[in-house]
Structure 1
Amino acid sequence: MSNNSSLVGGVSYQQQVYRIIVVQILVVIFVYINLLLIFTFFKKECFYTNARYILFAVTLLSDSMLLIISTITVMFAYFRFNIQVGLCMILCNLLFLYSFVTPITLTAMTLERYVAICIPLRHGELCSTRSAMHCILIIHGLSAVPCIMVLSAFFATASLSLYTKERTCSMETFNVYRWQSHMVSAMNQLYFLLMLITIVVSYVKIVKVAKAASGENKKSTWKGLRTVILHAFQLLLCLIQLWCPFIEAALLPIDLQLYIDVRYNNYIMFILAPRCLSPLIYGLRDETFSHALKSYASFGLYKKNRI
């Protein structure tokens, strides 16, 4: 155990470092892409005055915050670095908040597509810039409810001495009693069910309109339907992420190394993977946004070539 090739819980030190390097590279790439997309969003008025793109920017900001905070907590857990419970509480609750912001925003974006396709005459009224601002407040309000409940339960049950103790930073730290984990599970299941119902109903309504449409309207409607399908897939991955803490919590008392490995794989599949879909859906598939993005990314050379 004196050299770098020693095994720590069945995994060599080199393997641990390799995994962390892979995560850091992926996080840097995704955060850079998100920042480039956010820069593009603020450079053109047609983007920051459009409800659809405003909600898209919210997902980019939420994803960036989630990636940065989650990679910090994953590194702490992977290298078994303990921190004070008070600091862990701040990190985990921000992480918990942004875990809900993205799927709720995706649900709102699906509803926006539903209004645009199924109720086009009221789209301007229901999906104005002002409505988008109100929607952002509602999204963050709904996302904050689980965090407030977790904190309230923790403050009511934890002793003051616990705040200064050092622990492995995870959401399980705040479950002093078993009923607290059941409460979090119930909230996640409720949010999962409501968002799933919204997506399914919107999808069915849009399919009906797509079948009845004709000509250019049909083409536009089916494009909107494909966007909803991508939202649904991205949302599914985000919602599975809400279940990951319960799987990890069950493994933690059994085998610490297994817990760390599962948490690493969950991070790759259900946190990093869904976050690469947002740039795909609006950064590349959306023609207007794609041209603007390529222009800024190539420092104007793409625009000159097109002309």
Structure 2
Amino acid sequence: MAANDSAVYKINDRVILVQVFVAIFLFINLLLLTTFFMKDFFYTTMRYMLFAITLLSDSLFLLMTDILLILSYFRFNIQTWLCLILYIVLSLYTYVTLVTLTTMTLERYVAICMPLRHAELCSTRSALHCILIIHSLSSVPCTVVLSIFFASATNSFYTQGRVCSGEIFIFHTWQGYLRSTIGQFYFLIMFITIVFSYAKILKVAKAASGEDKKSTWKGLRTVVLHAFQLLLCLIQLWCPFIEAAVLQINVVLYINVRYFNYITFTLAPRCLSPLIYGLRDEKFFHALKSYALCGLYKKQPSDLRKLTN
């Protein structure tokens, strides 16, 4: 019994640690979003608009996964119809982040490899169209899985109390394989897109000189960070299969693996967005620095030029 109590105590410590991490990242995202809406340059520029979409998507995803983590920890049952709504939102915004990251990579490709067409292809109007397309593409996996679920579920199933999990909507083994296949297809398309963009930007970077070379290599590093972030997010799609296999071996090991997966493949990649654009981007960083210090930070003339150029 003592061993079980010790295990529960450790899990409880972990849950508290997750709450601290989630609270910190939500605060940072809120600060970044506030900065985004404080200057019209940001919400009329495509890359910052896409950045804001990732912040909103990641914030909603972190908040909802944290709520489900707490409900699961306390074994709190909710009716299936409510779990269904949560699952739809989570499934949608899992892919919104992935597709948006890929779109941001393409935007960097256009900016560096096709600079003369960047203003035309990456206008505010194009950004709004991209956001609509991103959400449409992101809804496809959820729509496919739930179409099969709706065809199989009975009316009484929606009012049953259950611990909320995406697995309760999988009635057949082949459904899980289908969901995995869709995820791998998205992974393949995104991987090809990022490798293509990286190769083209690398070619331009080698041929560039002076300030252009510096800017190009910075864009190349951004693509690499996007690729790393995307890889972590995509590994999350494999986690349910890994956890299901581990559960057959040992329950305590399953708990440890699930916690590791949540921290590494759910929390960590969604905390990279503020680093990639919030802190590495000079214009956004100086605006953030100004607003975070409530005007106490006095802009130098060079800073003013960075915010207006």
Residue type at the aligned position of 2:17:
V
How big is each residue's C-alpha offset from its partner over 1:29-72, in whole Å with a ceiling of 9 and x where there is no partner? 00010010000000001101100000000000000000000011
Does residue 109 in structure 1 map to residue 101 in structure 2? no
Q: 2:93 aligns with which of 93, 98, 103?
A: 98
Find the aligned partners of 1:234 and 1:204 in 2 and give their Cα distance.
18
How big is each residue's C-alpha offset from its partner over 1:182-241, in whole Å with a ceiling of 9 and x where there is no partner? 110110000010000000000000000111111111111111111111111111111111
CA displacement at 1:302 relative to structure 2: 1.5
Does residue 7 in structure 1 map to residue 26 in structure 2? no
Find the aligned partners of 1:18 and 1:134 in 2 and give their Cα distance.
44
Find the aligned partners of 2:126 and 2:268 in 1 and give their Cα distance.
30
- Between the two proteins, what is the percent identity of the paired residues? 66
Find the aligned partners of 1:219 and 1:155 in 2 and give their Cα distance.
53
Does residue 248 in structure 1 map to residue 269 in structure 2? no
Q: Tell me the equivalent position of 2:217.
A: 222
- 1:1-307 mapped onto 2 (5 Å cutoff): 7=4, 11-252=6-247, 255-303=250-298
How big is each residue's C-alpha offset from its partner over 1:2-23, in whole Å with a ceiling of 9 and x where there is no partner? xxx6726xx5332122111100
CA displacement at 1:272 relative to structure 2: 0.8
What's the TM-score once normalised by structure 2's chain length?
Answer: 0.93
Residue type at the aligned position of 1:171:
G
Find the aligned partners of 1:255 and 1:72 in 2 and give their Cα distance.
25
Aligned pairs, number: 302
CA displacement at 1:79 relative to structure 2: 2.7
The answer to whether the 8 A contact 1:67-1:272 is kept is: yes
Runs (5+) with no aligned partner, structure 1 = none
Distance 1:99 1:50, change over 3 A: same
Find the aligned partners of 1:252 and 1:84 in 2 and give their Cα distance.
25
The answer to whether the 8 A contact 1:77-1:260 is kept is: no
Moved more, 92-101 or 37-46: 92-101
Find the aligned partners of 2:111 and 2:233 in 1 and give their Cα distance.
24
